[in-house]
Amino acid sequence: MTGQAVEEPTMPSARVVIALLVGSAFVMILNETIMSVALPALMQDLQIGPSTAQWLTSGFMLTMAVVIPATGWVLSRFSPRSIYLASMILFSFGLLIAALAPGFGVLLVGRVVQAIGTAVMVPLLMTTVLRLVPATRRGATMGTISIVIAVAPAIGPTISGIILGALGWRWMFWIVLPIALIALAVGAAKLRVTAETRPVPLDFLSLVLSAVAFAGIIFGLSSLGGAVHGEAPVAPWIPVLIGVLSLAVFVWRQLRLQPEDRALLDLRPFTHRSFVVALLLVVLAMMALFGALILLPLYLQSVLHASTYATGLALLPGGLVMGLLGPVVGGLFDKFGPRPLVLPGAVVTSAALWLFTLLGAESALVMVIGIHVLLTIGLSFMFTPLMTDALGSLPADLYSHGSAIVTTLQQVAGAAGTAVFITIMTVSSVAPGGAVDAVGTHAAFLVAAIISIGVVLLSTLVGRSGTTTQVPAEAAG
């Protein structure tokens, strides 16, 4: 197949390859949202406001969004082993920086380094699965991957709350660091995946344009909350405008370079209807997930005055439900395709977000837990079918670029959702200085609920058939 790596694991089974990648990606994505419950404690310890503190999450996702567009080139140019080792080394180094950080600035640098290492792992995992697993078993395997994509962020706040309840915030990094080092050692000793690489030229102008585009858009959105209180360094519309213009030029340049096979990010996946519809739904679902992940801990601790430990435990049932449903939904996808799963999932997700708008200063904790579980059920029935339908609808030579597009826009959506909901919360708050209160969180949940109506309407366009792209069954283990 022209220009496409063909991988055959030299280990006893492809399952070993996938298990190592899944485990590593799980730890990395878990780390992405582990800061959410810690934000109130960090705000107090580092003497920063919510608009500044949210950069520890938004900055991570912004970095991911900047780096991931280049992963299509990286996956074609370097071997899976080299990519894996570089990823784990950067991630581990970032953990060390964060654990030793004397203040907010160094802590943010550590998060950025962690994000650079994390950025290539999920596309590497997705591409490997698509190449090693036949289409008839792809849904079940992608169900396992959904544990990485959706469950890890869902239980991140729980783990964070437990750690913060017993130890300081630095231990969130000290505890993860040895796990990352063990994964690095195992990968160095065991990961042997042969792949056909090719000297694909790197278009530096495209790399710069994509970095400016996604950084500008996310930075502008993330600055909205600070602008309201006079904390933003520049007017938010300026970086957003620069980002949008850079994105337009980036797209134009990719279209010019595609015929010569020199594009940094091949945009031909957008010519596939199933990919586009599924991608839009994944983006909206990620906004809802990350919006809830950032709002709920703030609401629980600042409005209901729950401890960090109680907050973590309150979010645990939802994470466990999502983990249990991932493989089940994947199996159902293999039998029935995406539509019978995505449409009900969208309705349940929307219902949960509307129920969140009923929460107030006197709401019972059990009500919050119940609604959160309902939200994770709805999202569980969306993520696996949508991810599988989006990538499985592509020809094999577009797998790496398709996974890069999906993962990039996931991070943009997550960062945008975090920034927008934090901004709405602070703007709507009646408490002094935009502090978290019931009025602000209600307004943010209301916007999320309104967006969910679009999710339901768009889900009606999801095709009735499952994945149609076949892959060779060799090396499937």
CATH, residue 113: 1.20.1250.20
Let me know if residue 91 belongs to a domain: yes
Backbone angles phi, psi at 193, to 5 degrees: -120, 115
Let me know if residue 467 belongs to a domain: no
What was the pLDDT predicted at 246? 93
What was the pLDDT predicted at 16? 75
Q: Find out whether 382 and 281 touch, Cβ atoms under 8 Å.
A: yes
Let me know if residue 194 belongs to a domain: no
Which pTM does this prediction carry? 0.70
The pLDDT confidence band at residue 7, using thresholds 50, 70 and 90, is very low
Instruction: Name the token pair of 141.
Output: 């395997």
Provide the percentage of residues in the chain whose pLDDT is more than 90: 12
Q: What is the pLDDT of residues 130-154, one digit of tens each?
A: 677 776 666 667 666 766 666 676 6
Q: What is the pLDDT of residues 355-400, one digit of tens each?
A: 998 988 888 889 999 999 999 899 888 877 887 788 777 877 777 7
Mean pLDDT of 422-438: 72
Contacts of residue 131, defined as CB under 8 A and 6 or more positions apart, other chains included, come to 5, 6, 7, 396, 399, 471, 475
Q: What is the pLDDT of residues 102-136, one digit of tens each?
A: 888 899 999 999 989 988 887 788 777 767 777 66
pLDDT at 11 over 50: no
Burial of 33 (0-12, 13-18, 19+ CB in 10 A): buried
What was the pLDDT predicted at 88? 92
3-state class percentages of the chain: helix first, strand second, coil last, to nearest 5: 80, 0, 20
Let me know if residue 6 belongs to a domain: no
Across the chain, mean pLDDT equals 78
Distances (CA, A) of 165 to 54, 153, 390: 20, 19, 40
Let me know if residue 464 belongs to a domain: no
| Of 112, 114, 107, the residue nearest 93 (C-alpha) | 114
Let me know if residue 4 belongs to a domain: no
What was the pLDDT predicted at 472? 34
C-alpha–C-alpha distance, residues 436 and 359, integer Å: 14
Let me know if residue 229 belongs to a domain: yes
Domain that holds residue 104: 11-189+200-459
The pLDDT confidence band at residue 181, using thresholds 50, 70 and 90, is very high
- Distinct helix (H) and strand (E) counts, the chain: 20, 2
Let me know if residue 2 belongs to a domain: no
The pLDDT confidence band at residue 89, using thresholds 50, 70 and 90, is very high
C-alpha–C-alpha distance, residues 404 and 204, integer Å: 17
Domain count, the chain: 1
Higher pLDDT, 5 or 242: 242
Q: What is the pLDDT of residues 259-301, one digit of tens each?
A: 877 788 888 888 888 888 888 888 887 777 777 777 888 888 8
Neighbours of 204 (CB within 10 A): 9
